[in-house]
Chain A
Amino acid sequence: MNRPLSPLTRATLVEAPDDLDELIEFFHARRWSDGLPIVPPTRERVARMLSCTQRKPDEIIAKVAPGFGEATVERIAINAVMAGCRPDYLPVLIAATQAMSAPEFNLQGIQATTNPVAVWLIINGPIAEQLSVNAGPNCLGQGTVANATLGRALRLIMQNIGGALPGDMDRATHGQPGKFSFCCAENEAQSPWPPLHVERGFKREQSTVTVVGAAGTHNMNTHADNADELLRVIADTMMFPASNDYWIGGEPWLVLGPQHAAILHAGGLSKAEVKRRLWEESKMPARRMAARELQRTQAVRESKIGPINEDTMLAAADGPEGIGILVAGGPGTHSVYVASFGDARAVTREVIA
């Protein structure tokens, strides 16, 4: 379709109250925030943010579903300022906006669904240390500027540029706390295996951001002290009958704590072998599903995996490589299961200033 070029590629300045309390209310009233106070996106702050990229302010990085607003570098910077990001975070958000707009990520589905899915940002490579993105203790919790504000900025981009406001185009039944921010780095130093970005075809010295459609986090606390037993209890936790991964053939993720990763590595397992074992051992009998889910599973997966009946052992992903593994967190006997939206595939993009 031929459309005239939008004359509104540059962001517009608006007159807002000088008083900070009133200014914050001004943003809430327009539904420009996520419910938390924002940092005012003044000309000076946005200019400082833009000085951290070589890209032009009016370059369009993506059109963000479901409203397909143009995510220019400038608009990304404005939302980053509001979220409290430091200026040098901008290139990460540009890469994340590119990543979530790749067709296989299915941002349209993620934004508009009733599912609670949040976009989980995983940072790899040298930039994680440069920006002090937490990969260690409490990496999915509060207390680190980068983790808190990068995820928040991406949500503001999805809401303000993508137009998905809760209750309107964002149809989430409950949503989840991860929709405020969901961001961590991989604990590459304590991982016994090559990091995620290397597994996905990048060099170790490149910096990347990976986006994942995450339905939630489910903790797994186990003192299992050998690889076989640890895999067994993790695989058993992965199966649940009301899971999108099982009916669609999804992309479940595991955040292995460094202690658990060390046990698996000591058992002689590569990351690929861990995935293969988990994929096999987490197969669930189709009869555990509700009859209607079984019907949907047949409709969606039979073309890929053949006839499905109540006795079929369903895997959570179409193949072992469909299981994502990240090593992150601090000391402790915990790992985290991140069930996925199911209908999205993780996308990795390089962070380039």
Chain B
Amino acid sequence: MQVYDPTAPMAAPAEDLRQRVADLSGKVIGFIDNTKPNFNLLAQDLGELLLERYGVKAVIQKRKRSVATAAPNEVLEELARECDLVITGSGD
């Protein structure tokens, strides 16, 4: 018999939005802390290592309100404006 497929196609074709940073030296790096346990510590350590070893110019740390909500627009705008690379956390 004929039946309907109940699923919806995953709509859009993939497009590569990816920007690259070949050399981190002198760059500004942002972190969005997802508030999951330990991510703040990981971000702190990564920030220190990037400053010490990769010669980055500055590190900016921002926090989401909580895990499962998206970061507010103004935070995203600010990081996109100020930073060359943004590092985020996802999941546990």
Contact A343 B1 (CB under 8 A): no
Q: How far is the CA of A72 from the CA of B9 in the complex (A)?
A: 12
Q: Which residues of A contact B (CB under 8 A)?
A: 1, 3, 6, 8, 11-18, 23, 32, 40-43, 46, 63-64, 67-72, 74-75, 78-79, 82, 106, 108-110, 112-114, 156, 160-161, 163, 171, 248, 292, 295-296, 299-300, 303, 341-343
- The segment out of B18-26, B47-55, B64-72, B74-82 that lies at the interface is B64-72
Q: How far is the CA of A163 from the CA of B9 in the complex (A)?
A: 9
Assess A11 versus B66: contact at CB under 8 Å? Given A6-B9, A68-B11. Answer: no
Query: Which single residue of chain B is at the shortest CB-CB distance from A16?
Result: B3
Q: Which residues of A contact B67 (CB under 8 A)?
A: 109, 113, 343
Q: How far is the CA of A132 from the CA of B10 in the complex (A)?
A: 36
Q: Which residues of A contact B37 (CB under 8 A)?
A: 292, 295-296
Which of B2, B9, B69 makes the CB contact (< 8 A) with A42?
A: B2
Which of B6, B12, B15, B92 makes the CB contact (< 8 A) with A41?
A: B6
Q: Say which size band chain B's interface belongs to.
A: 20 to 34
CB distance from B31 to the nearest CB of A (A): 14
Assess A64 versus B8: contact at CB under 8 Å? Given A13-B3, A42-B2, A300-B35. Answer: yes
Assess A11 versus B3: contact at CB under 8 Å? Given A248-B66, A300-B35. Answer: no
Query: Which single residue of chain B is at the shortest CB-CB distance from A3?
Result: B12
Q: Which residues of A contact B91 (CB under 8 A)?
A: 171
Contact A160 B35 (CB under 8 A): no
Q: Which residues of B contact A (CB under 8 A)?
A: 1-13, 15, 33, 35, 37, 40, 63, 65-70, 91-92
Query: Which single residue of chain B is at the shortest CB-CB distance from A33?
Result: B6
Q: Which residues of A contact B9 (CB under 8 A)?
A: 6, 8, 69
Contact B6 A32 (CB under 8 A): yes
Query: Which single residue of chain B is at the shortest CB-CB distance from A17?
Result: B1
Could you list some 16 contacts between A and B, CB below 8 A? A1-B12, A13-B5, A16-B1, A32-B6, A42-B2, A42-B4, A43-B4, A68-B10, A78-B4, A106-B69, A108-B70, A163-B10, A171-B91, A296-B37, A300-B66, A343-B67
Query: Which single residue of chain B is at the shortest CB-CB distance from A171?
Result: B91
Contact A40 B6 (CB under 8 A): no
Q: How far is the CA of A3 from the CA of B9 in the complex (A)?
A: 14
Which of B4, B35, B40, B68 makes the CB contact (< 8 A) with A109?
A: B68
Contact A6 B1 (CB under 8 A): no
Assess A14 versus B7: contact at CB under 8 Å? Given A106-B68, A343-B69. Answer: no
Query: Which single residue of chain A is at the shortest CB-CB distance from B17?
Result: A1
With a 10 A CB-CB cut-off, give which of B4, B11, B15, B68 has the most chain A CB atoms: B4
Q: Which residues of A contact B65 (CB under 8 A)?
A: 300, 303
Q: How far is the CA of A32 from the CA of B4 in the complex (A)?
A: 11
